[in-house]
Amino acid sequence: MAYPADESALSLPPSDEDMLDVSAPLHWQPSPSPGAQQQPQSSTPAPSTPPLPSPTTTPPQRHSTRHRAPPAPSPKPSPTLTTPPSVDVPMPDAPPSPESWSHDPGVRASPLFRLPRELRDAIYSHCLTAAEAIPWPIANLSAGICTPLLRVCRAVHRETWPLLYAKNTLSFAHPSDANMFLYAHNRAQARMLKSLRLMVRDRDVRALWTGYLSSTAPGRSLMADYPSLEEVHVCLRMVGWAGHAAQGADVVERFRRWGGDRALKELCLSVEGRAPVGADVRVVMLYRVARGDVDLLWRMFPGKFQRRGGGVRTAWECVFGASVALEVEGVDVEGA
Q: Where are the beta strands (DSSP E) in 166-302?
A: 169-172, 195-201, 231-237, 280-290
Q: Residue 221, SS3?
A: coil
**DSSP conformation class of 66:** S
CA–CA dist 306, 294 (Å, integer): 11
Q: What is the pLDDT of residue 142?
A: 60
Query: For residue 220, how many other CB atoms are within 10 A of its CB?
Result: 16
Domain residue ranges of the chain, discontinuous segments joined by +: 102-167, 171-336
CA–CA dist 206, 217 (Å, integer): 18
Handedness of CA 277, 278, 279, 281 (dihedral sign): positive
CA–CA dist 88, 128 (Å, integer): 48
pLDDT at 155 over 70: yes
10 pLDDT band (50/70/90 cuts)? very low
Task: Name the residue type at position 97.
Answer: S
∠ CA(104), CA(109), CA(110), 5° rounding?
Answer: 100
Q: What percent of the chain has pLDDT over 90?
A: 32
Rg (CA), the chain: 58
∠ CA(212), CA(226), CA(285), 5° rounding?
Answer: 55
User: Which strand (E) or helix (H) includes residue 273?
Assistant: none
pTM strictly above 0.75: no
Tell me if the bond preceding 137 is cis, omega within 30° of 0: yes
Range among 55-59, 177-181, 241-245, 252-256 rated most confident: 177-181
Q: What is the pLDDT of residues 216-247, one digit of tens each?
A: 898 899 989 999 999 999 999 987 555 444 45
Round to the nearest angstrom and report the end-to-end CA distance of the chain: 190
CA atoms within 13 A on the CB side of 2: 2
Query: For residue 23, how many other CB atoms are within 10 A of its CB?
Result: 4
- Residue 44 CA, chain-centre distance (Å), reads 96
Q: What is the mean pLDDT of residues 164-171?
A: 91
Do residues 184 and 178 touch, judged by C-beta distance below 8 A? Answer: no
